[in-house]
């Protein structure tokens, strides 16, 4: 299986705080992978490095062999990496379909003169955009709410709309930052089914940051665990779950009282 994304020796510091400490990470095409870790472990920072929001002090990131670091976020989106945000960041005063249309921006071959002239080329392209937006909205189950203002959508719909907006840029790699946060178990399950479908139908690769362990264990082909900016474990879900360092990171070190056999 071809390597899609490769990060080598990534370090990112904020003043005295080391958010990422020499992290290596490889992602194969067509997978669903997860990054887990306690709060403040550096997961979102990792995403921000991939999407050009932060530039790390050290390390390299390549996407399909192309170096990513130093590129602007919009250029990285054009390369084929797109993301959602931990705290939903929709364009809240625009409609659902407009949100999706903005997501297509990097794939629109029209310029200022096309827009002002509104020739046949513009009509054809714009028509195709709207048609595709309709398809995407159907895919995420929001077709009927296309003209609703994003801010007025229920929470779960907003989460899905964010995924739809990211999909609009035709990414090869979709980065989802806690996509099921605040969802009920049922909604989360529905979202996971959607993700599996996307991977199958759109030949997409998905990288998740997730706190919902049930989701992580169920859907991930591979799990990476970060703690204090370091990668402490990596592998299949079940292996990682049993790894003592992971348990320690989440639950804390066992305290042995003198004479006792532990607890």
Partner 1 sequence: MKRLLAQPVSAFIISVGLILVTAYAVSHFPRSIVAFMLFQASILVLYFARMPGWVKGALAAATLGVLMPLLGSINGYYLEIAIQVGIFVALALGLNIVVGLAGLLDLGYVAFFAVGAYTWAVFGSPQANLFLPGEHFPLAQGWFFLFLLVGVGMAAGAGILLGLPVLRLHGDYLAIVTLGFGEVIRVLANNLDKPINFTNGPKGITPISRPPIFFDPVLRAIGINPDPNVIYPLYLYFIVLAIVGVTVLVNRRLEDSHIGRAWEAIREDQTAAQAMGVPLVRSKLLAFACGASFAGTVGVLFSAKQVFINPESFTFMESIGVLAMVILGGMGSIPGAVLGATVVTVLNLQVLKGLSLWLNELRNAGTTIFGWSLQNLPTQLEPAKYERMVFGLILVLMMIFRPQGILPARRRHRELTDGAGEPH
Rule CB under 8 A: which residues touch partner 1? 51, 53, 72-74, 77-78, 82-83, 85, 89-95, 97-98, 101-108, 110, 112, 115-116, 118, 123, 126-131, 133-134, 137, 143, 146-147, 149, 165-166, 168-169
Q: Least Å distance between CB 223 and partner 1?
A: 25
Q: With respect to partner 1, which residue has the nearer C-beta, 60 or 75?
A: 75
Q: Least Å distance between CB 256 and partner 1?
A: 47
Q: How far apart are CA 172 and CA 185, in angstroms?
A: 28
Q: How far apart are CA 213 and CA 242, in angstroms?
A: 13
Strand, coil or helix: 31: coil
Q: Least Å distance between CB 95 and partner 1?
A: 5
Backbone angles phi, psi at 100, to 5 degrees: -65, -40
Q: How far apart are CA 137 and CA 160, in angstroms?
A: 9
For residues 118 and 86, the answer to whether their CB atoms sit within 8 Å is no
As a three-state string, the secondary structure of 198-259 is HHHHCCCEEEEECCCHHHHHHHCCEEEEEECCEEEEEECHHHHHHCHHHHHHHHCCCCCCCC
Q: With respect to partner 1, which residue has the nearer C-beta, 173 or 225?
A: 173
Q: Least Å distance between CB 74 and partner 1?
A: 5
Q: Least Å distance between CB 68 and partner 1?
A: 14
Q: With respect to partner 1, which residue has the nearer C-beta, 101 or 215?
A: 101
Q: With respect to partner 1, which residue has the nearer C-beta, 174 or 246?
A: 174
Q: With respect to partner 1, which residue has the nearer C-beta, 21 or 148?
A: 148
Residue carrying structure tokens 């999407």: 51
């Amino acid at each position: 299986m071809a390597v899609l994304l490769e990060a080598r020796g990534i370090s990112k510091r904020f003043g005295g705080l080391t958010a990422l400490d020499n992290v290596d990470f490889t992602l194969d095409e067509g997978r669903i992978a997860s990054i887990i870790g306690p709060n403040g472990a550096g997961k979102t920072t990792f995403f921000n490095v991939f999407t050009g929001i932060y530039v790390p002090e050290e390390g390299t990131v390549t996407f399909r062999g192309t170096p990513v670091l130093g590129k602007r976020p919009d250029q990285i989106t054009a390369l084929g990496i797109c993301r959602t945000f931990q705290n939903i960041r929709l364009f809240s005063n625009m409609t659902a379909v407009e949100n999706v249309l903005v997501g297509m921006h990097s794939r629109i071959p029209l310029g200022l003169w096309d827009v002002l002239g509104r020739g046949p080329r513009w009509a054809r392209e714009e028509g195709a955009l709207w048609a595709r937006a309709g398809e995407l909205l159907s895919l995420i189950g929001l077709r009927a709410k296309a003209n609703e203002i994003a801010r007025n959508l229920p929470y779960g719909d907003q989460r899905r709309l964010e995924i739809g907006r990211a999909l609009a840029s035709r990414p090869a790699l979709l980065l989802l930052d806690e996509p099921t946060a605040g969802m009920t178990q049922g909604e989360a399950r529905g979202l996971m089914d959607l993700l599996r479908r996307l991977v199958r139908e759109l030949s997409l690769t998905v990288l998740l940051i997730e706190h919902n362990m049930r989701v992580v264990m169920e859907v991930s082909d591979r799990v990476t665990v970060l703690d204090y900016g370091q990668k402490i474990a990596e592998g299949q879900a079940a292996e990682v779950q049993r790894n003592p360092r992971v348990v320690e990171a989440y639950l804390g070190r066992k305290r042995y009282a003198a004479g006792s056999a532990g607890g």
